[in-house]
Amino acid sequence: MILGKIIGKTTTKKFSFHIESKAQKFQYVQVMHKDYGYVLCQILEIERDKQEIAHCSIIGYSKNNKIQLPRSPFQQGIEVLNAENGFIKKILNLEQKNAAYIGKLETRDIKVYLDLNSLLTKHVAILAKTGAGKSYSVGVLLEEIIEKKVPLLILDPHGEYAQIAHPNQQEKEALEKDHLEPKGYKESVREYGDTRVDDSFIPLHLNEELGPQELLHILPAKITQSQKATLYSIIKEISPLTLNNLIETLSTEQDISSLNLVAILDYLKSLQLFSSDYTAYEELIQPGRCTIINLKGVPPQIQEIIVYKLLKDLFEQRKLNNIAPFFTVIEEAHNFAPERSFGEAKSSSIIRTIASEGRKFGLGLCVVSQRPARVDKNVLSQCNTQIILKVTNPNDLKSITNSVENITAETAEEIRNLPIGTAIVAGVVDMPLLVQMRTRRSSHGGSTINILDESKDMLKDLTHFKKKEILPLILPKTTRKDLQLIEGKDKVVPILIPAAVVGFEKKKKRYQLLIDTVKGHIIKSQDTKETIPIPRVKLSKSQQEAFEVMARMKRFNLAKLSTKMQLPILKLKDLIEFFEKSKLLEKKKEEYAPTQQAHLLLSPQDFQFFGKIEFRQINYSSKLRPKLTEQEVKQRLHFLGVKDIKKCFLVYYKVE
């Protein structure tokens, strides 16, 4: 289709044409050149006065599978045509083997791919302001990398990426249009972290053996020159160099300098980051494995130590070819590798090293940030591929223009106005491409929490309900919509049951129980609504010892118990009667057995609640009143040694 004819001044890079039929900004066009045949161009701007004029940039023509710019300008009066899809594919060479499908050219049904081989040798940066689709776009790239079985390591400070394990059921229609299906990567994902923060994590332990420079680098406090001298004099005599060995040696010294060093090292040891039984490198880096290091809840200065030590060890192992080539994603890169004017993180040096040297050893790097101006320029400039979504901060735009090739001032201006989900992708070809990122197959965990939204369908028919409130809620796995489908009824109303999440420790490990504060029961299963009454008894030391013997026997009669405990029969009968009345024992035929309440008393960790409280606004039919106060809950759970209590509401759906 003819769009118009070239007018005015032309150069080997730009030209303008008078629009005679419909044209739009960023549209691809093709123009016949007398020496080079058809040349691919793109409309960069359209202006209207008495007539519409399109201003175009020349992309080039194909020669030996490379894009070449013409050496002479177009002639005036030459027709400008709408570019055919086949011609665009041929010039831009977008369809590649062993490549990651990330989306389609804006306004075109042409798929855009990133070469995965080059990602391991030419790093990538994903930059965008908050809410522009940054972590969603990272997820698209991660899916493609997992599909190709490339080992992945994700440093995740906010716990956004574990959702990649689950399929994206919310965007089925959009996926179908792209001939894709929802897919989760549960078999590939392993999430590591501090189990004191979340006990569902796989424990992460770092290698306790440290080099002298490593040790000095990770110290959480500055030390004096005399303390450095003390350390150097002692370090050379310690093998292997570990925190335990160093503390033990320093403790024998009597001077104040050494005692201060011991205090610093004791603090470092108390973090429980280092171990002789450290997480194996080959466990973290495996073909087809997506390893997530979840740093959520870990203080920033500790995050820096973890990232530094982990990346340094893995880089050394990669150089020795002890682990497979892998791809590392660093979320919030401005915190782990800040521009020097914003300070220095403990992890900065190793990230700079990987950015400059990792490509030689098959270690790919993806830096993700919402503040490009705060990311180390040396790191950002090493990223040959950039996926840039909407950015509005002037300093960030300036940083992008300075560090990304072929990003002009005009393109930078366009970055301000990009719609959510649309990216400027630089580094695939010689010019930036405007790409509509594809829909994710897996679930997205990085969306901003909307506390003012519960579910649209609920708002339609619950107008007679109570006024909406923002409340701490524990939501059931089965949604209201699911119940409507299962029961075949529209009237499914939410009822709020007052509850409490009670935290306690056992053998230095943290657990939590979910308590119904109306019934005074432990909730064993929220889905089946199975509960266990809290034992209303305090045992003396002798009673506790006797009961533990009975519980270990599981089933017993008086004769068996007498043989085991060697107490008078009358004493045993009294004990059994007391435990029966306290509902800790029940009689089954001619034998006694511990009850669920007994199991709760002895092993409360077996009834642990793994859910989380969410703060949401909700319409509800009724809200019950608690019968137990916080103090009464503590008193009833005296056998736990309660650490904290969080009040909340259980959401139950009633079918009417």
Express each pLDDT in 541-577 by its tens digit.
888 888 888 888 888 888 888 888 878 888 888 999 9
Number of H helices, E strands in the chain: 22, 31
Instruction: Share the mean pLDDT of the chain.
Output: 86
Q: What is the pLDDT of residue 467?
A: 45
**Contact (CB, 8 A) for 274 and 207:** yes
CA distance 532 to 522: 5
Query: Percentage of the chain with pLDDT > 90?
Result: 38
In terms of DSSP H, where are the helices of 271-329?
A: 281-284, 300-319
With cut-offs at 50, 70 and 90, classify the pLDDT of residue 468. Answer: low
The answer to whether residue 477 scores a pLDDT higher than 50 is: yes
Q: What is the pLDDT of residue 130?
A: 85
Q: Where are the domains of the chain?
A: 2-92, 99-204+287-353+364-437, 207-275, 449-656
Average pLDDT over residues 646-656: 84
The answer to whether residue 38 scores a pLDDT higher than 90 is: yes
Q: What is the pLDDT of residue 447?
A: 56
CA distance 311 to 347: 9
Residues whose CB is less than 8 angstroms from the CB of residue 16 and which lie 6 or more positions away in sequence, other chains included:
6, 7, 8, 9, 10, 53, 54, 55, 56
Give the pLDDT confidence of 88-105 residue by residue, as tens digits: 988 988 766 668 899 999
The answer to whether residue 252 scores a pLDDT higher than 50 is: yes
Average pLDDT over residues 510-518: 89
The answer to whether residue 634 scores a pLDDT higher than 90 is: no
Least confident of 154-168, 279-293, 445-459, 599-613: 445-459
Q: What is the pLDDT of residue 548?
A: 87
State which of 2-16, 207-221, 592-606 shows the largest mean pLDDT.
2-16
- Helix, strand, coil share (%) of the chain residues, nearest 5: 35, 30, 40
Give the pLDDT confidence of 187-229 residue by residue, as tens digits: 999 999 988 777 788 999 999 999 888 988 998 888 888 888 8
Which CATH architecture does the domain made up of 449-656 adopt? Orthogonal Bundle (1.10)
The answer to whether residue 449 scores a pLDDT higher than 60 is: no
The answer to whether residue 460 scores a pLDDT higher than 80 is: no
- 30 is written with which tokens? 């093709």
- The CB density around residue 418, as the number of other CB atoms within 10 Å, is 21
* Secondary structure letter of residue 592 according to DSSP: E
Residue in this structure with the two tokens 């997480």, named with its chain if needed: 279
Closest CA to 629 of 469, 517, 490, 476: 517
Residue in this structure with the two tokens 């800790």, named with its chain if needed: 584
Q: Within a 13 Å sphere around the CA of 144, how many CA atoms are in the beta-carbon half?
A: 21
Least confident of 324-328, 344-348, 609-613: 609-613
Q: What is the pLDDT of residue 462?
A: 40
Closest CA to 154 of 101, 190, 124, 178: 190
CA distance 652 to 476: 7
What's the CATH number for 2-92? 2.40.30.20
Average pLDDT over residues 137-160: 93
CA distance 192 to 280: 12
Query: Percentage of the chain with pLDDT > 70?
Result: 92
State which of 32-41, 341-350, 428-437 shows the largest mean pLDDT.
32-41
Element (H, E) at 86: helix 85-92
With cut-offs at 50, 70 and 90, classify the pLDDT of residue 156. Answer: very high
Please tell me whether the overall predicted TM-score, pTM, comes out greater than 0.85 for this model: no
Residue in this structure with the two tokens 């409340």, named with its chain if needed: 471
Q: What is the pLDDT of residue 553?
A: 86
- The total number of residues shown for the chain amounts to 656
Alpha carbon of 389 to those of 125, 240, 271, 297, 425: distances in Å? 11, 48, 38, 28, 9
Least confident of 166-170, 387-391, 634-638: 634-638
Average pLDDT over residues 178-184: 92
Least confident of 118-122, 191-195, 281-285: 118-122
C-alpha angle 239-240-242 in degrees, rounded to nearest 5: 120
Q: What is the pLDDT of residue 192?
A: 95
Q: Which fold has domain 99-204+287-353+364-437?
A: Rossmann fold (3.40.50)
First to last CA, the chain: 61
The answer to whether residue 463 scores a pLDDT higher than 50 is: no
Alpha carbon of 577 to those of 556, 582, 583, 598: distances in Å? 14, 9, 10, 15
Closest CA to 411 of 394, 397, 427: 397
CA distance 345 to 217: 10
Q: What is the pLDDT of residue 64?
A: 84
Least confident of 117-126, 134-143, 302-311, 623-632: 117-126
CA distance 456 to 521: 33
Q: What is the pLDDT of residue 47?
A: 94
